[in-house]
Amino acid sequence: MKIKQVGTKQGLQWILNGVYQFRQSPLVWIILCSALYIIIATLSYVLQLYGLLVFIILFPALQAGLWAGCRALEQGEKLKFLHLFSGFKTSPVPLLTLGAISLVGQLLIFGIISTIAGDVAMDYAIEGARVNEETEVIKAADNMLSALLVGLILHIPLIMAIWFTPLLIVFNKIPPYAAMKLSFIACLSNFITLQVFITSLFLLGIIALIPYILFGSVALSFGLVNFVLMPIIYASIYASYKAIFYDI
């Protein structure tokens, strides 16, 4: 695989491609995104906290299924519900391995955040425990701010390493570690373009929240974010993969 450095305008073009793919099969996209929420809700209900950990491991395979749907639409085929689970059929072990790596990385980062934040701040953040003394409040706030900053800094390289990896695993049959390296280099090489892309998506997210901000319509904003914007994001990421990577 070879990595291409693309222009900043491409970030907006990817979103337009995402909108186009969503318009091709909006109902099925909504069903697929609903299925994702049903899966995580079921896992959380049955396994509680462990359900979230299991979902993190399964998530790359589910993502790969959505991107398999994008490829099907690109090739003139129909988007189907079963596309969501196609990653488990085509590349189960590499995708689950990626999920396990992602889980370990996030747990390590959480451990570092917890250490920096301290017991008082974490108890307050997680359980809502009361902090009585003013000095403890100030210290807890400072520790939490530092912890969040460190967590953000540590999450960026992890996200970069995982961003394109499911796509590279499924479509190019590249092993997880090699795919993570390629993904990280691709994100680094196109960092500004990806920032334009992510910032544009963030602005679209704000627009989707306007019904809630202005009129208090939670259902409408929830629907726009999760059943319209989310499919556009995944289709846009697929478009970015197509633009940045090509075989040599």
Which residues, other chains included, contact 139 with Cβ-Cβ below 8 Å and sequence gap of 6+?
118, 120
Q: What pLDDT does 246 receive?
A: 79
Using a pLDDT cut of 90, give the percent of the chain over it.
78
Using a pLDDT cut of 70, give the percent of the chain over it.
89
Q: What pLDDT does 139 receive?
A: 60
Would the pLDDT of 184 be above 70?
A: yes
Contact 105, 115 (CB under 8 A): no
Question: Average pLDDT of 229-241?
Answer: 96
Contact 183, 164 (CB under 8 A): yes
Residue 2 pairs with which residues in a beta bridge? 246
Instruction: Report domain extents, the chain.
Output: 2-246
Q: What pLDDT does 97 receive?
A: 97
Which residues, other chains included, contact 186 with Cβ-Cβ below 8 Å and sequence gap of 6+?
3, 163, 164, 244, 245
| Separation between Cα atoms, residue 86 and residue 76, nearest integer Å | 18
Average pLDDT taken over every residue of the chain = 90
Q: What pLDDT does 144 receive?
A: 77
Contact 202, 229 (CB under 8 A): no
Q: What pLDDT does 25 receive?
A: 95
| Higher pLDDT, residue 248 or 183 | 183
Most confident of 65-69, 130-134, 136-140: 65-69
Q: What pLDDT does 119 receive?
A: 55
| Least confident range of 51-60, 68-77, 146-155, 214-223 | 146-155
Question: Average pLDDT of 169-190?
Answer: 96
pLDDT, one tens digit per residue, over 80-134 is 999 999 999 999 999 999 999 999 999 999 998 888 876 555 555 555 545 455 5
Question: Average pLDDT of 124-146?
Answer: 59
